[in-house]
Structure 1
Amino acid sequence: MNSQYLTDISYRHFIESVQDYAIYILNLEGIVVSWNIGAERAKGYTDSEIIGKYYGVFYSLDDQILKIPAQNLDYALKQGHFEGEGWRYKKDGNRFWAHVVIDPIYDYKGALEGFTKITKNITEQKNFLDKISYLAKYDTLTDTFSRNEFFNIAQKNINDLPQNNKLAICLLGVDTLKEIVNNRGYRTGDKLAKNIADKIKQNLLPNEILARFSNDQFIALKIFDNKEDITHFYRRIYGCTNNTYSIDDQEFLITVAIGASIYPNDTNNLIDLVNNAETALIRAHKKINDRICCYDKKVDGKTQEIKMLAHDMSTAIEKNELFILYQRKYSLLNNDTSGYEALLRWQHPTLGLISPDTFIPVAEDTGKIIPLGYWILETVCKEVLAYKINKKVSVNLSPIQLKDPNFIENVSRILETTGYPAEQLELEVTETAFINDQTNTFKQLKELQTMGISVSLDDFGTGYSSLKLLHDFKFDCIKLDRSFINDIEYNQKSVTFLHSIISLVNSINLPLIAEGVENEVQLNTLKSIGCLEIQGYIFGKPEPLKEA
């Protein structure tokens, strides 16, 4: 008995004893000729029941009619390997989601003898990913589309818009929802938001889309080809939501306002389309009756204040009105500061301290964000070196900066002239950076990583397409948006959602930071579900670097 024979026997016994994988052999016609323990466990057939039968019995009747089993063998033969996923059926008729591999078998002369087939039941993994996918696409409270899924749908509709059709974005703001939440609590507010969403959904036509845009806003979409249709759309949503709602034996009179914008009349860009609707909504909120406003470039153009901010921004650096604060990031694993985020502030001589939420959009709209961004980066590098902070520091990056053809060259120059180590720099981008020119954004960010700079995805879960971005680009870190943290003290759905996201991110070995953590309950909850890094007021507000 030679060693090769013994090896063959040992290998066959090993295959037959494997329990987690269905491993079996097919002859040239796809007939089962061997069957291991794993196959019996996965599919329910004993070897005496299945050997000699065509392996197509594991496929659905529709797949058998379409000759999918034979096509898979043919593909494995022509390509040398088949790998795929799909539903497979057990002896008892129940189905499971399978990962399948098929390889042809050849003898020592190169003649085809049959096929090896390996099947793994991955139903649990599929169910988990399906759940994550659902949570990413839908708002669990109102069962409407999520904000980022709405952007996906809207962009697809714009891309596929039929000739002579138009697309309307309708942003609905609920006037008193925030006050109701403050006075009556989140439970009442959540029930009210759900009732409003249900009312709108009952009045939508099949080609109309609804999503929750924020805590007190909904956004809807309609494709139309005549003015009467879109006017009726606005009136229908407006009329059904201005109503009295009964929540826990309490009556709430709800009033709403609507801002709308139309593609391509108002803009050819989705982000601008939504921004236009927001601008029109501001005007609608100020009206007393008939509170529906469509975007009007003349009326809703830049206000005098915005123009003044844009003008003053040109001299803000020279006048030393801009400064940087730093907020610490904290590692729960090491119980120590893990790094800092640099945050820009503007002390205006007459308007006082202006929020970045106010002046950053102005800087982006006017293009001033590009020189401003380089000033921020250079200032951070100099300050961190001066105070000998041996921690990684992150700086926010605007999508507009990535469009600068000299961006990489200027970042490299700043690091070289200041002597700042690239390994201690992290640049944060939001999901909006990937909407209009994903190819260029990926190219720029990969060049940054090649230089040694880390790239993190900021405000994860609130923008364009979070899960797809994790698949398409290898980020060094993601930052979970603070909106997911706000209500975890009393909303178990939010905790479940966070747990799912953190589990997913941990499973792909991607560092995650939870932003906006403000109290011990939030901290302990995040710690209990596997979050290892925190940023928020609980560990300190943004401060000058010498105090941080």
Structure 2
Amino acid sequence: MNYPPLPEHQIVTDDHKAAFFTRRLLMSLILLLSGVILLAMLLLVGIAWRQNEDAVQQQRFLLSNIWKDKRQSILTDIRDYAFWSEAWNHLHLQVDTVWAFDQQNFGPGLFQEYHYEGIFVVDGQGRTRYSVINGKLDTLPLESWLGIHAAPLIRKARSLAAAEGATTQNVIIGTTPALVAAAAITPGKVPGTGTLPGPPSVMVFVSRFTPEKLKQLGNAVGVKNVRVPTTTQDAFVAPFMVEEVAEDAPIIIRWDPRQPGRNLLICLLPALFFAAFVLGLIARRVINHAMSSAVLADRRFAQLKHSERELAASEARFRDVAETASDWIWETNPQGVITYLSRRFTSVTGFEISRMLGRSVDDILLHETEAVSLWIFQQRADGQRRQLRCYSYSAQNEKRICSLVANPVLLKGQIAGYRGTVSDITQEVEAEARLHYLSQHDTLTGLPNRVYMLEFLRGKLHAQPTAERPLVLISLDLDRFKPVNDAFGYAAGDSVLVEASHRLRGALNAGDLVSRTGGDEFMLLVCDLTNEEEIDHCCVRLQSELCRPFYIGQQELFIGVSMGIALAPVDAMQADELLRLADIALYKSKREGRNCWTWYRPDMAEQLIHRRELERNLRMAIVNDELKLYYQPRYCLQKSRMEGAEALIRWAHPPTGLIMPDSFIPLAEETGLIIDVSNWVLLRACTDALAWPNMMYVSVNISPVEFRSGNLAKRVADALHKSGLAPSRLELEITENITLENPQNALTMMQALKKLGVRLTVDDFGAGYASLNYLKTFPFDGMKMDRSYLHDFPQSRQAVSIVEGIIALGKAFSLTVTAEGIETQAQWEELKAISCQEGQGYYLGRPMPLESFLPLLNTPLLLESHHVEH
């Protein structure tokens, strides 16, 4: 835009005035900018210092928490061992080092797994009767580690014996900090244990925090170089943490702190200095430009008029936005009377704007506890955005949830009214409620899930149930549910679960809770049962409901139910503990044959601990080569010649001795260790058989669990490849029940094994549910007749007929028939007479280690006498 030239005298005057005021203004701005930059630097330094302090506080907090966790952990561990009847018998009544150390009930395992360097048992006279130092049996007394603190610790532990309590404290052993826990040994809840005169023995655990353990402790929470200071100066230079120790010097822990503030200063201070320099250059340029532009100040009036027009256009745009926004806008006078509503109000509520103008805001917006107008009057113009959740009713009388925002309108410092917006958040609130419901309920059955059940259980426990009116927790698991999924698909399984949930809810009262905790597992919380008879009656009702047939289309299905019962307060008063005890009882029910219920007993937990210990020892046995193979010969009865041998596993457990397979194979199958055990058996059997004559084979039993794993053929191929044994010399014995769960998968697996060239034999034929179709469908090479058929053979004519029929059946299918359990010469002679091909039993040879078996390979079978010795 071109402006007309001003008179020369006016230009000079205006130049002088404009330059004067511009210079003062710019100098003020420069001083203000300099102050802002200086303040920013000071704030930056303050923020950096604060970040460093916060980092140190956080690390101190983390170290303190993990130290407390360690104290709680050692306290829990010593309770588990001290309040144990076996510890009372073997460490208090007598010190049995074989039980404690050799059998690893109270020995090196505490050092290897829990890292307790010192384990002590102090008798009633204060003598250290048992010591394990760094996992090794020792005679070191407790006082050599704790000094004068040993006696007070022992006294305090004994004072807590009546309440089965334990104590723990920090100590310094030499220069190394340590945690010490002590508890009096009690017989627990097992009655009938012996006693000794005098105070009880005390069990002591010591965990020393060496430099390496301190660093590992810090690394676990992201703190570097945690250590004990080696000098006085290092001890009192921040940061450090002090753990107070009763009657001793405090434990001081140092670490290398993170310094996020230092990095902030390194990054931002140079940038601020550079910005100050750049701003200085800009300010100089601005001053020069402003001085030359000051003469144009009076020509800005036209631009002001233009700005006013722009402002008017902006107000028009605001009106347009207000009328088309999703929220509706309102204004009131100071008394809360509505003076303006945007058009969106009609679209949302259905009311005409003209009907609402002049009415109170409380006629439109409602709140549960206070008038909306009172909340609006409390708002202040402090720049903070406050929201109130309220509700309104539409013209169709539908309740709508609203979010209200209000701000006062100031005119010359006085409130001239209020304005704000209202958002309809009904759908968002309903979505939140739905999400909250889904977070606490099972989506399939609609039952409460584990989260809801735990909250409900804790609430019931707060009501303090009594032994006369206990709180009954039932852990419930459906039997034979997995075959439903396998045979009919997951949709059928889901329908069974939904129907089961309906039956469970129908079998209980309104105040009881049924929750689905996962899979086919349910948890039931039952109230108002006063005695064991009523609880048993409830379990009978539940069992009856779930044992009724389920229908998938026209198919009728039957499942069972196993239940475990725990009571509060009899068994526990903590929700998590009560759940654990109920699960232990459920596990017992499933092991005892399913479709029953079991009450929790304290000895179940001990049995579970024993089982876990056996599992741990079995894992170690695989690593430590404690498993052994015994071989039982199999003879060709017509030629009296050894054809092969069956490999039978034994566990040479160092403390116990030789353990038979029926004591640990079921555990291996349940825990998945059977795969590792089977791999070892396959490789060892194939390797041992390499030293036998080429025509002899080795037979290995295959567990149903590993047969279903899907990779059996690959594992067998690996064993043959590693050992170098010809596939035709390996026979796999498979029980007939393997094929019943999934016949097609079983057939596929057997065909893969046959491609390798190995022999397949039916083990214990006749003891299960095999049929003629079974022998026809599956590619077996032989069958072993179950030993039960030889019990009355050959004295019973019926037994002879049955054995002859089984042999004839095997020959009809071109299978080699092996008779198991030959124990007498009469049985051997009769089996030869009826043309049984192979035989195995104690009369022909007992299972024996490899060194005893090898001399028999080239020795003919001599059975003319009434017995045979090997």
TM-score for both structures, normalised by structure 1: 0.51
Q: Distance in 1 between matches of 2:593 and 2:508?
A: 25
Q: Render the CA deviation track for 1:118-176: whole Å, top value 9, x for unaligned.
A: 11122333333333223222222212112332223223333454677643321111101
Q: Contact conserved, 1:224 with 1:230, CA < 8 A, in 2? A: no
Q: Distance in 1 between matches of 2:401 and 2:486?
A: 46
Report the counterpart of residue 612 of structure 2 in structure 1: 306
- 1:213-252 map, 5 Å: 213-224=517-528, 226-227=530-531, 230-252=535-557
Q: Contact conserved, 1:75 with 1:82, CA < 8 A, in 2? A: no
Q: CA deviation at 1:316?
A: 11
Q: Distance in 2 between matches of 1:5 and 1:33?
A: 26
Report the counterpart of residue 137 of structure 1 in structure 2: 440
Cα 1:97/1:8, change in 2 over 3 Å: farther
Q: Contact conserved, 1:19 with 1:41, CA < 8 A, in 2? A: no
Q: Distance in 2 between matches of 1:146 and 1:44?
A: 42
- 1:386-535 map, 5 Å: none
Cα 1:174/1:82, change in 2 over 3 Å: same
Cα 1:160/1:310, change in 2 over 3 Å: farther
Q: Distance in 2 between matches of 1:85 and 1:23?
A: 16
Q: Distance in 2 between matches of 1:247 and 1:225?
A: 35
Q: Contact conserved, 2:361 with 2:373, CA < 8 A, in 1? A: no
Report the counterpart of residue 401 of structure 2 in structure 1: 97
Q: Distance in 2 between matches of 1:177 and 1:133?
A: 30
Q: Contact conserved, 2:327 with 2:422, CA < 8 A, in 1? A: yes
Q: Distance in 2 between matches of 1:119 and 1:313?
A: 67
Q: Contact conserved, 1:58 with 1:90, CA < 8 A, in 2? A: no
Cα 1:22/1:172, change in 2 over 3 Å: same
Cα 1:202/1:78, change in 2 over 3 Å: farther
Structure 2 unaligned regions, length at least 5: 1-303, 625-652, 655-660, 673-870
Cα 1:300/1:243, change in 2 over 3 Å: farther
Secondary structure at the counterpart of residue 28 of structure 1: coil
Q: CA deviation at 1:216?
A: 1.2
- Ranked by relative contact order (alpha carbons within 8 Å, sequence separation 6 or more), the top structure is 1
Q: Contact conserved, 1:166 with 1:264, CA < 8 A, in 2? A: yes
Q: CA deviation at 1:99?
A: 2.0
Alignment equivalent of 2:476, drawn from 172, 192, 202: 172
Alignment equivalent of 1:211, drawn from 515, 530, 543: 515
Alignment equivalent of 1:30, drawn from 336, 342, 366: 336
Amino acid in structure 2 at the alignment position of 1:54: S
Secondary structure at the counterpart of residue 338 of structure 2: coil
Alignment equivalent of 1:125, drawn from 428, 452, 466: 428
Structure 1 unaligned regions, length at least 5: 320-347, 360-548
Report the counterpart of residue 494 of structure 2 in structure 1: 190
Q: CA deviation at 1:211?
A: 1.0
Secondary structure at the counterpart of residue 461 of structure 2: helix
Cα 1:312/1:77, change in 2 over 3 Å: farther
Alignment equivalent of 1:72, drawn from 375, 382, 386: 375
Q: Which moved more, 1:1-10 or 1:195-204?
A: 1-10
Report the counterpart of residue 88 of structure 1 in structure 2: 392
Q: Is 1:50 aligned to residue 50 of structure 2?
A: no
Q: Distance in 2 between matches of 1:184 and 1:134?
A: 31
Amino acid in structure 2 at the alignment position of 1:24: W
Alignment equivalent of 1:157, drawn from 457, 460, 472: 460
Cα 1:17/1:159, change in 2 over 3 Å: same
Q: Is 1:285 aligned to residue 590 of structure 2?
A: yes
Report the counterpart of residue 392 of structure 1 in structure 2: none
Amino acid in structure 2 at the alignment position of 1:35: L
Q: Contact conserved, 1:85 with 1:97, CA < 8 A, in 2? A: yes
Q: Render the CA deviation track for 1:98-125: whole Å, top value 9, x for unaligned.
A: 222223333322x333322311122333
Q: Provide the aligned length of Structure 1 versus Structure 2.
A: 325
Largest Rg, 1 or 2: 2
Q: CA deviation at 1:34?
A: 0.8
Q: Contact conserved, 1:166 with 1:262, CA < 8 A, in 2? A: yes
Secondary structure at the counterpart of residue 133 of structure 1: helix
Alignment equivalent of 1:257, drawn from 546, 551, 562: 562
Q: Contact conserved, 2:349 with 2:394, CA < 8 A, in 1? A: yes
Amino acid in structure 2 at the alignment position of 1:84: L
Secondary structure at the counterpart of residue 143 of structure 1: coil
Q: CA deviation at 1:95?
A: 3.0
Report the counterpart of residue 106 of structure 1 in structure 2: 410
Cα 1:257/1:312, change in 2 over 3 Å: closer
Q: Is 1:266 aligned to residue 564 of structure 2?
A: no
TM-score for both structures, normalised by structure 2: 0.33
Runs (4+) of structure 1 exceeding 6 A deviation are: 1-6, 77-81, 311-317, 348-352
